[in-house]
Amino acid sequence: MRAFAAVTIVISTALGLAACSPARVLNFATSSNDAKVDRNIAYGKGPRRTLDVYAPRHAEGAPVAVFFYGGSWQSGDKLTYQFVASALAAKGIITIVPDYRLYPEVHYEGFLSDGAKAMAWAKDHALQYGGNPRRLFVAGHSAGAYIAAMLALDDAWLARESLSPGRDLKGFVGISGPYDIVPFTDRKIANIFSTAKTQGLSQPINFAGGRNPPALLLHGIGDKTVYPRNTTRLADKLRSMGSPVDVKLYSGVGHLGIIGAMGSPMRFVAPTLKDTTDFILGASTDE
């Protein structure tokens, strides 16, 4: 138990402080299996609208996953999550990690708009990296899982880029996401979503329907930052509407441990990587 607690502290430090050495250790230790990495590609105007692409060597018809990181919609950097992209690329998945605009520069509409643009870029450039544009997935952790969920469930955001979740997404992976957090208890979080006509319009759970893409929802039972009920409630709503959803709840795993477990030194903490790759690689192709 002491060893597990020490690992949790390391993960928390690494992901909480992007520039510190533990984050670099996670990134350094996680092999990408010699994936080709293209950095800082613009998908829109401004310094926060760039993305990194991790493409497996000799990829052909590979699935493409766009991963959105967390940070309470107020912080975060794609470089901190190299270990996530490297881990997925090593399994044969072309992985794209975008930066996106944050509060207070924008409210929630801003980072969802950026997310939709990044998805459109991924579909348009999939073939360039050996990917199949018909095997497009959206994924995210924490605040990034919120972004992924809204793009997958609320048709309006992808429609701005002439895309449709039901037609253009093969699936959605949400890791420890806040899908049902109204009424807001934090003033700053409330401000982020204050531009919504009603609070409900900002919540993924209210867009669960019968024509959503398949979903994989992962959550640690020990998560005290975003409570697991967010995942279980969304899963129940999706099932009730007839949309396919698979849920994995990890005993004793917290909010940062679940994503830190993507890194090779920490994979004993939770099977986050295996469950994610099994879902993406197991999805059918439209040949």
Is residue 99 situated within a structural domain?
yes
Enumerate the H helices of the chain as residue ranges. 2-16, 21-29, 82-90, 108-125, 143-153, 155-159, 165-168, 187-192, 229-240, 257-260, 272-282
Predicted pLDDT at 148: 98
Distance CA 164, CA 209 (A): 14
Judged against a pLDDT cut of 50, whether residue 19 lies above it is answered with no
Backbone angles phi, psi at 99, to 5 degrees: -80, 160
Judged against a pLDDT cut of 70, whether residue 22 lies above it is answered with no
Judged against a pLDDT cut of 60, whether residue 16 lies above it is answered with no
Domain count, the chain: 1
Distances (CA, A) of 149 to 17, 130, 155: 25, 26, 11
Predicted pLDDT at 29: 92
pLDDT digits (tens, 9 = 90+) for 182-229: 999 999 999 999 999 999 999 999 999 989 999 999 999 999 999 999
CATH of the domain at 236: 3.40.50.1820
Predicted pLDDT at 23: 67
Judged against a pLDDT cut of 60, whether residue 81 lies above it is answered with yes
Whole-number CA gyration radius for the chain: 17
Contact 149, 257 (CB under 8 A): no
Predicted pLDDT at 24: 77
How confident is residue 21, by pLDDT bands cut at 50, 70 and 90? very low
Predicted pLDDT at 283: 79
Backbone angles phi, psi at 137, to 5 degrees: -125, 150
Q: What angle do CA 146, 151, 152 make, to 5 degrees?
A: 95
Q: For residue 250, give the H/E element and its range.
A: strand 245-250
pLDDT digits (tens, 9 = 90+) for 24-48: 778 989 989 899 999 999 999 999 9
How confident is residue 5, by pLDDT bands cut at 50, 70 and 90? very low
185 contact partners, CB below 8 Å, separation of at least 6 = none
Q: Residue 86 is part of which domain span?
A: 2-282
Judged against a pLDDT cut of 90, whether residue 243 lies above it is answered with yes
Predicted pLDDT at 4: 44
**Sign of the C-alpha dihedral, residues 256, 257, 258, 262?**
positive
Q: Is 21 exposed, middle or buried (0-12, 13-18, 19+ CB in 10 A)?
A: exposed
**Pairing assessment for the beta strands 50-55 and 131-141 based on DSSP bridges:** unpaired
How confident is residue 20, by pLDDT bands cut at 50, 70 and 90? very low
Distance CA 247, CA 244 (A): 10
Residue 52, beta-bridge partner list = 97
Judged against a pLDDT cut of 50, whether residue 110 lies above it is answered with yes
Calculate mean pLDDT across residues 137-141.
98
How confident is residue 102, by pLDDT bands cut at 50, 70 and 90? very high
**Sign of the C-alpha dihedral, residues 137, 235, 75, 197?**
positive
Is residue 47 situated within a structural domain?
yes
Is residue 287 situated within a structural domain?
no
Mean of the per-residue pLDDT values of the chain: 92
Q: What angle do CA 174, 175, 177 make, to 5 degrees?
A: 75
By residue count, the chain amounts to 287
Is residue 139 situated within a structural domain?
yes
Predicted pLDDT at 98: 98
Judged against a pLDDT cut of 90, whether residue 151 lies above it is answered with yes
282 contact partners, CB below 8 Å, separation of at least 6 = none
Calculate mean pLDDT across residues 75-90.
96
